Structure 1
Amino acid sequence: MQSDSIRNLVLVLGDQLDPGSSALKDIDSNLDAVWMAEVAEENTHVWCHKLRIASFLSAMRHFRDELAKRGLRVLYHELQTDPAHDRGTSFAEVMISDVAAYSPKKIVVVDPGDYRVRHQLQAAADDSGTPIEFREDTHFYCSIEQFAAYADGRKSLLMEFFYRHMRRTHGVLMDETGEPEGGQWNFDHDNRRSFGRSGPPDIPAQKSFRRDATTQQVLDLVNQRFADHPGSAEKLSVPITRRQAKAALKHFVEHLLPQFGQWEDAMWTDEAFLFHSRLSVP
């Protein structure tokens, strides 16, 4: 039986929904708890499209449910239709409240991709007197420390040269002599074709996903709580769960990728996606 005492409070942010996350690698269901929070600040400090808000919150709630099915204890803060019923507007406010309630010995989190959030979490941990451990985000080929070492002493930083460095480092599309496959580093000039007056060729249908009850609840929340935000989420059909994302990736590789490269930068009236994957929401 779970008690209220917690060894590690493991924070999972909305862009870190990975069951293989470094924050979860040594979690103990009897000693630790996962902490997730929907907070207004993350949807308002930069004005967000309703589709982005809805997909983010729905993905978080589905991931919460997946963790619970694994037997993990999840402390989850849902945004309410009425802001007055929220326990805080920021990660810091909600986290400090839960740290006070559960007195964890340590806070664990994957290093946020946003320095603003990292600073906020560090300050909240300091205010509560609780140690916080920032773990490496293993979703990237290059760590912050590795990039700092690469950048040290360079007069300028160009993406093209860093791209080549990373390909050499990891042996991506390199031949046996250490040269790029195909004899050149990129084929950008081949990716800028236009459709011409006749327009694009036949575009395979995008793979869509039926919304479930969880997603519908989120849509109702977004339409009420964020009614003044731009856009609409009524046609939300992007992948929400890991399983859906893998299915969408498979569909993209098989049906859209063969045509994607040459028209990567092309646009056409009334064609929102063309040959793009829709694997993420901006």
Structure 2
Amino acid sequence: MSSTKHAVVVLGDQLDLKNPALLANPPETAHILMVESPAESTVVWVHKVRIALFLSAMRHFAEELRKAGYAVHYRKLGDTGKHSLVEGIGSLCKQHGYTSIDMAEPGEWRLEQDFLGMAKTKGIKLRLLDDTHYLCTRAEFAKWASGYKQMRMEYFYREMRKRTGVLMEGAEPAGGKWNFDTENRSAFPKSGPGTISPPAAFEPDEITKEVFAEVEQHFPKHPGTLANFQWPVTREQALKALDTFIATRFTNFGNYQDAMWTNTPFGWHSLVSSSINLHLLHPMEVVEKAEAAFRENKVDIASAEGFIRQILGWREFMRGVYWLDMPKMRDDNFLQAKLDLPKWFWTGKTQMNCLKDSIGQTMDHGYAHHIQRLMVIGNFALLAGLVPQQVEDWFLAVYVDAIEWVELPNVAGMALFANGGRFTSKPYIASGAYIKRMSNYCTGCKYKPSEKVGDDACPFTTLYWGFLDQHEKMLSANPRTGLMAKNIARLDDAQRTALRQKVADTFKNIEQL
């Protein structure tokens, strides 16, 4: 095949020299196509930090490709106009006469459909290659899922452990059990988290500063600030971020991975998810370093297993479920939620301390850890009955590690129960009491987590009891939520009437909470 008629497409979340499309096309013959599309930052109202991270990482990777000997055709924001990413690739193909392209399969269902449509319309031969960045192919996951009436991550995770040999002692799991989740749920001491070893931070270089200027130029009204940007944008930086976590932060990750504290945006978390999702790090190399820390007695089994489960288990499971259930997943609304997303989701300007802090740090850094996302922001969205698609768009927009294949199933399935328990055994709901137990957010808050009615009632507690009231029948039929349903059954008619009135008032005044 003539190199002048053939090209390789590299997407912004496929920044790895071991990308299968690059491995199939050596530098001496391959022509690389990369496009920055303004449209990709307006599909949802994308956080400035997320835009900057993708663009800076892409530009750094393009330089890496050139140094490796590849010919790279790269279109920056100002060169693309209002064209979509796929239209930009099509335009490059027309300009340079490419009639066939190779690429690793896109991470998003929408993009894959767009590329297939473009190839058909323009008569371009498109070859999609299995993305070897992942540890389980789409076909392998579909085969596994076909054997279960109800998919559960725990069973998939055990299979992945057996397949890879990670944290195994022969045929048995290291430490004598598969899952140490119950040992990884500690709150910080009442005195606070104390001194936390800082994550690796990276001063923006000239490429990144140039990106900052263009983000401010092209997306001035988008949410967030670039003032605190410190994310890895190259593989070298990503490796340093990982090594810093393993050496100085991993030891306390397990105990405190669910803990929350005011003005503590990162806790003991690794902050490498964005690097894994951009393919600057391979998930298996992250898992191997984590396991090595355990084998060398640098961290306990609970920390190691909890961290590895998120990558080897949950991350791969989310991807598998996404490709199995799209595009239906995007439309799911099992609970018929219909309330619009409050405007303060984009500012953090609410009187609820937990949401003010969690959303505030999201706007400042493009980051919140999994419990802030699931049990604060997601929990509120579920209890309040916010429209799933609006919540999904928000999560996709604001987090640096948000790519639809991982964001959508986490939000639709895990946080919002929008698919009715397709792969979760219950709705993940909690009252203000949970937030009080796991944080200091309730200290000094206007609202009291112990109150469900009255002027001082915590909206989380009010809406939690309202959720029990509204969905009592469904919750009663589920063994894992039966006790919750029994609690609401204990309320007499007068108490239910008062609760329902308070719930209605909370919905009515949601913008003022």
Deviation at 1:47, TM superposition (A): 2.1
| Deviation readout 1:212-247 (Å, 9 max, x if unpaired) | 111001001111211111111122111110000001
Contact 1:91 1:120 in 2 (8 A): no
The structure 1 residue matched to 2:52, chosen from 43, 51, 54, is 54
Deviation at 1:122, TM superposition (A): 0.9
3-state SS, counterpart of residue 214 of structure 1: helix
Q: After the TM superposition, which residues 168-207 of structure 1 pair with which residues of structure 2 at under 5 Å, given as runs?
A: 168-176=162-170, 178-207=171-200
The structure 2 residue matched to 1:150, chosen from 136, 144, 147, is 144
Deviation at 1:31, TM superposition (A): 3.0
Deviation at 1:87, TM superposition (A): 4.1
Deviation at 1:188, TM superposition (A): 0.6
Q: After the TM superposition, which residues 80-159 of structure 1 pair with which residues of structure 2 at under 5 Å, given as runs?
A: 80=78, 86-159=80-153
The structure 2 residue matched to 1:229, chosen from 222, 225, 234, is 222
- Write the distance in 2 (CA, Å) between the matches of 1:5 and 1:247: 36
Contact 2:7 2:98 in 1 (8 A): yes
Q: Which residue of 2 aligns with 1:67?
A: 65
Question: More deviation in 255-264 or 148-157?
Answer: 148-157
Question: More deviation in 53-62 or 202-211?
Answer: 202-211
- Write the distance in 1 (CA, Å) between the matches of 2:261 and 2:81: 45
Structure 2 unmatched runs, 5+: 275-399, 402-513
3-state SS, counterpart of residue 34 of structure 2: strand
Deviation at 1:118, TM superposition (A): 0.4
Number of equivalent positions? 274
| Deviation readout 1:133-174 (Å, 9 max, x if unpaired) | 101111111000101111114211011111111111222212
Higher relative contact order (CA 8 A, sep 6+): 1
Runs of 4 or more consecutive aligned structure 1 residues displaced over 6 Å after TM superposition: none
> Which letter does structure 2 place at the counterpart of 1:22?
P
- Write the distance in 1 (CA, Å) between the matches of 2:97 and 2:29: 12
> Which letter does structure 1 place at the counterpart of 2:173?
P
TM-score (norm 2): 0.52
Contact 1:193 1:263 in 2 (8 A): yes
Contact 1:88 1:94 in 2 (8 A): no
> Which letter does structure 1 place at the counterpart of 2:14?
Q
From the superposition, tell whether residues 235 and 153 of structure 1 become closer, same or farther in structure 2 (CA, over 3 Å): same
3-state SS, counterpart of residue 23 of structure 1: helix
- Write the distance in 2 (CA, Å) between the matches of 1:208 and 1:151: 40
Q: Which residue of 2 aligns with 1:12?
A: 10
- Write the distance in 2 (CA, Å) between the matches of 1:227 and 1:126: 36
| Deviation readout 1:40-88 (Å, 9 max, x if unpaired) | 22211122211111011000000001111122110111002xxxx6344
From the superposition, tell whether residues 104 and 173 of structure 1 become closer, same or farther in structure 2 (CA, over 3 Å): same
Q: Which residue of 2 aligns with 1:42?
A: 40
The question of 1:220 aligning with 2:213 is answered: yes
The question of 1:257 aligning with 2:255 is answered: no
- Write the distance in 2 (CA, Å) between the matches of 1:19 and 1:57: 17
3-state SS, counterpart of residue 33 of structure 2: strand
Contact 2:93 2:99 in 1 (8 A): no
Deviation at 1:277, TM superposition (A): 1.8
TM-score (norm 1): 0.93
> Which letter does structure 1 place at the counterpart of 2:211?
V
Question: More deviation in 196-205 or 26-35?
Answer: 26-35
- Write the distance in 2 (CA, Å) between the matches of 1:59 and 1:129: 31
> Which letter does structure 1 place at the counterpart of 2:249?
L
Deviation at 1:26, TM superposition (A): 2.9
Rg larger in structure: 2
CA RMSD of aligned residues (A): 1.5
Question: More deviation in 58-67 or 146-155?
Answer: 146-155
Contact 1:174 1:181 in 2 (8 A): yes
Structure 1 unmatched runs, 5+: none
Contact 2:38 2:81 in 1 (8 A): no
Deviation at 1:30, TM superposition (A): 4.1
> Which letter does structure 2 place at the counterpart of 1:57?
L
> Which letter does structure 2 place at the counterpart of 1:160?
E
- Write the distance in 2 (CA, Å) between the matches of 1:185 and 1:254: 24
3-state SS, counterpart of residue 77 of structure 2: coil
- Write the distance in 1 (CA, Å) between the matches of 2:130 and 2:207: 31
Question: More deviation in 115-124 or 103-112?
Answer: 103-112
> Which letter does structure 2 place at the counterpart of 1:132?
L
Percent identity, please.
41
From the superposition, tell whether residues 165 and 29 of structure 1 become closer, same or farther in structure 2 (CA, over 3 Å): closer
| Deviation readout 1:244-264 (Å, 9 max, x if unpaired) | 000111101000000111100
